[in-house]
């Protein structure tokens, strides 16, 4: 395409306005929701991740493999949200398609859009890995949980990586290997990638469906095991609370799927394909969804750090005001510790000791080092079958 033709095309709007709609001059930006969501969720993620790292490094807990998985998930979450904010707050996005021109699709906008299109799948998978790792670490002795975790990681990994390859091939620069703006424009805005009824839009809807299924899978998987925990009521409620927070991610993924389906259309009226505007709500929802996925593995360490800080503060204030330190008899947790003591030093059905490092305690991170273990409640009729699972 000649420079003169390219200059004329750059002056054209991305789509004509709908009937009886007046184009705003100057155009109005509609991305406030993204700024609000990112401004709340990003600092919250960083704060809770910092507390988790502090809790694992400076409180009496050792660094384990699931902590490395969490760091990978945290980096993926920050990277994904940063890419989304960078794309949606600059260039053509955030405006109605009839309020911006082709010239607003600069090379930087097209490049960020392409990178996000390709990396969204693998980064989302990395975020979900920390949730799989949390369930695996908490219920590692249960064979069926381990198998379901392995299956979930493998199936979601295959899908998200394949989606990245498809997006890279279909939306890549045209001709292949091109690095200038026309090459990226031909790829991202071309009929194969930009068609509202094309393969990429179908893949987008499929990705939304996979997100919903995966979030429900992660939400339901630990519930049967949690219901059988023999723990004091307050601590059992705390375990439920941690995993029930995943219900928020499920709701966000369902809402995101609804907005993904709105982008699919076989109608030829280009103003109905208002992609630059419709993506704003979808991006806001996915920011919240992915942030929740990073925050959930931090909830137990944050509770541990808060309990540690409150105990030290209470002891300090008690010693300053009453002249003596809080004793174990006045410790609010002493009652629960006494309830846990009868469960201590349990032996698994296969005759092996029930190691504390293989139990829900590793996830909760709220039991002192001398506290007891937990067991999964079971009927006498089912003991033999459960024994094979724990072996």
pLDDT tens digits, residue range 298-333? 888 887 778 777 777 777 777 777 654 444 444 444
Beta pairing partners, 353: 347
* Predicted confidence band of residue 354 (pLDDT cuts 50, 70, 90): very low
The mean pLDDT value of the chain amounts to 78
Higher pLDDT among residues 60 and 178, named by residue: 178
pLDDT value of position 174: 84
Structure letter (DSSP) for residue 329? T
> What is the DSSP secondary-structure string of 294-305?
HHGGGHHHHHHH
Distances (CA, A) of 250 to 4, 118, 213, 290: 50, 23, 9, 11
Residues 284 and 378 in one domain: no
Residue 371 lies in a domain: yes
DSSP state of 365: -
**CA dist., res. 326 & res. 316, Å (int):** 9
Final residue belonging to a domain, choices 249, 280, 299:
299
In a domain, 4, yes or no: no
**Domain carrying residue 284:** 29-299
Counting the structural domains of the chain, the total is 2
pTM for this predicted structure: 0.77
Length of the chain: 391
Backbone angles phi, psi at 347, to 5 degrees: -115, 135
237 & 341 share domain: no
Residue 354 lies in a domain: yes
**pLDDT value at position 359?**
44
Ramachandran angles phi, psi of 195, nearest 5°: -70, 130
Residues 241 and 342 in one domain: no
Distances 133 to 58, 148, 373, 388 between C-alpha atoms, Å: 22, 12, 20, 23
- Residue 242 · residue 300 · CB < 8 Å: yes
- End of a domain among 262, 280, 299? 299
Question: In DSSP terms, which residues pair with 13 in a beta bridge?
Answer: 101
State the average pLDDT over residues 75-91: 91
**pLDDT given for residue 323 in this prediction:** 52
36 lies in some domain: yes
What does the alpha-carbon distance between residue 312 and residue 205 come to, in Å, rounded to a whole number? 51
Residues 234 and 264 in one domain: yes
Residues 339 and 367 in one domain: yes
CATH label of the domain that carries residue 207: 1.20.1070
Rg (CA), the chain: 26
Q: Compute the distance between CA of residue 142 and CA of residue 387 in angstroms, rounded to an integer.
A: 10
Question: Residue 272 pLDDT > 80, yes or no?
Answer: no
Give yes or no: residues 154 and 106 share one domain: yes
Helix, strand or coil, per DSSP, at residue 145: helix
- Report yes or no on 2 lying in a domain: no
Which span out of 83-92, 117-126, 353-362 was modeled with the highest average pLDDT?
Answer: 117-126
């Amino acid at each position: 395409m000649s420079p003169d033709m390219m200059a004329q095309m750059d002056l054209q709007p991305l789509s004509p306005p709908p009937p009886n709609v007046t184009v705003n001059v100057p155009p109005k930006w509609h991305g406030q929701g993204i700024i609000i969501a990112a401004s709340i969720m990003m600092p919250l993620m960083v704060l809770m991740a910092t507390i988790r790292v502090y809790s694992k490094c400076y409180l009496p807990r050792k660094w384990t493999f699931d902590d490395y998985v969490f760091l990978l998930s945290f980096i993926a979450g920050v990277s994904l949200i940063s890419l989304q904010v960078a794309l949606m707050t600059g260039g053509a996005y955030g405006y109605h398609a009839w309020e911006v021109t082709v010239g607003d699709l600069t090379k930087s906008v097209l490049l960020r859009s392409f990178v996000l299109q390709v990396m969204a799948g693998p980064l989302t998978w990395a975020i979900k890995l920390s949730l799989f790792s949390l369930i695996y670490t908490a219920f590692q002795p249960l064979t069926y949980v381990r198998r379901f975790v392995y299956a979930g990681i493998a199936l979601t990994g295959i899908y998200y990586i394949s989606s990245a390859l498809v997006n890279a091939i279909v939306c890549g620069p045209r001709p292949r290997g091109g690095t200038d703006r026309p090459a990226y424009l031909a790829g991202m805005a071309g009929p194969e990638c930009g068609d509202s009824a094309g393969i990429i839009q179908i893949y987008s809807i499929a990705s939304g469906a996979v997100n919903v299924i995966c979030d429900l899978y992660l939400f339901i998987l630990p519930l049967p095991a949690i219901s059988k925990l023999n723990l004091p009521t307050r601590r059992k409620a705390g375990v439920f609370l941690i995993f029930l927070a995943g219900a928020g991610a499920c709701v966000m993924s369902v809402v995101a799927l609804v907005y993904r389906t709105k982008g699919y259309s076989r109608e030829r009226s280009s103003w109905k394909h208002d992609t630059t505007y419709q993506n704003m709500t979808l991006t806001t929802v996915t920011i919240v969804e992915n942030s929740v996925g990073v925050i959930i593995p931090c909830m137990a360490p944050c509770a541990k750090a808060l309990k540690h800080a409150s105990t030290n503060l209470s002891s300090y204030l008690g010693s300053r005001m009453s002249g003596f330190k809080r004793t174990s008899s006045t410790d609010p947790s002493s009652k629960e510790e006494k309830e846990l003591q009868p469960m201590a030093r349990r032996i698994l059905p296969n005759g092996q000791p029930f190691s504390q490092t293989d139990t829900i305690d590793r996830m909760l991170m709220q039991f002192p080092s001398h506290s007891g273990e937990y067991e999964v409640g079971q009927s006498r009729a089912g003991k033999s079958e459960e024994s094979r699972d724990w072996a």
